[in-house]
Structure 1
């Protein structure tokens, strides 16, 4: 018998795919999307509002001696007054930004109001600051005032964008 040529069998190679790079890329994508989702979440400023418990009158009332209003206008102008503008506890005045301006005034108001509150038996009732930026004021001024609230440890304040006619006249006159 003749030697029949043997069939040449092809050798099968190991077909193994290395997925190391694919796993690394997928983890990088997961981390990227987690970070972008976290950065996209809106950030908010904590806002403390006055308590609604009033001893002698209807709910929601506030002692007007605790109210201090800050009006922000263009050219870094600040006008402040205590109480209600119809019956202010002191004459509205113009104040500058900075350590010797609004910060000094806020620290003094806080001290006076806390002393007054302690004298009437409510030692935790601090000042209530109403911040009213006008349409002419810039964003930096609002951020500066919010920084002053944090520095002076005034935790009850509100940003209001509605002006009374008296406040509009006050801004126009000063």
Structure 2
């Protein structure tokens, strides 16, 4: 018999995986998701909350910002009721105005001018009027669009549309 060639056995190599890169990527992913989780939490802003602490906030608490806030209550039959400040101690008493340049636009421009003058005295000349628009369920969509147009025309950038009425505001709308 001839010499048969011997079977050559392959050498077994030690298989070793370097996990250094995997650990680095894992830590980067953990940090990424921690940052995204923190940034995605909803943030709230206090709006119109008094800075003072008083047992009787209706009598002893005064906010400088309440001079800047004008509320527009929209109701049916093209009715707008405006007041400035807080309803229980208003700076400008509730008053019914009409749409158009001689009605709501004139009122907004006058109030914005007063607010800008007052803010300039406080050293904050850029702080203009803040308008809170509250359409009732009886008001039409067209009335809301008209008011938003007036905000654009008058150059008032700080406004908010709110669907919440206080009980005093509901009584005010019912009485008019």
Q: How far apart, in 1, do the equivalents of 2:164 and 2:64 lie?
A: 19
What is the Cα deviation at residue 87 of structure 1?
A: 1.0
For 1:37-116, list aligned pairs within 5 A: 57=51, 63-116=65-118
Greater strand fraction, Structure 1 or Structure 2: 2
- What is the match of residue 134 of structure 2? 132
Aligned length: 119
- What is the match of residue 164 of structure 2? 162
What is the Cα deviation at residue 91 of structure 1?
A: 1.2
Query: What TM-score do the two structures reach when normalised by structure 1?
Result: 0.65
Alignment gaps of 5+ in structure 1? 1-50
Task: Pick 1 or 2: higher relative contact order, CA cutoff 8 A, min separation 6.
Answer: 1
SS of residue in 1 equivalent to 2:86: coil
RMSD: 1.9
What is the Cα deviation at residue 90 of structure 1?
A: 1.6
Structure 1 segments (4+ residues) deviating >4 Å:
none
CA deviation profile, 1:8-54 (whole Å, cap 9, x unmatched): xxxxxxxxxxxxxxxxxxxxxxxxxxxxxxxxxxxxxxxxxxx87xx
SS of residue in 1 equivalent to 2:147: helix
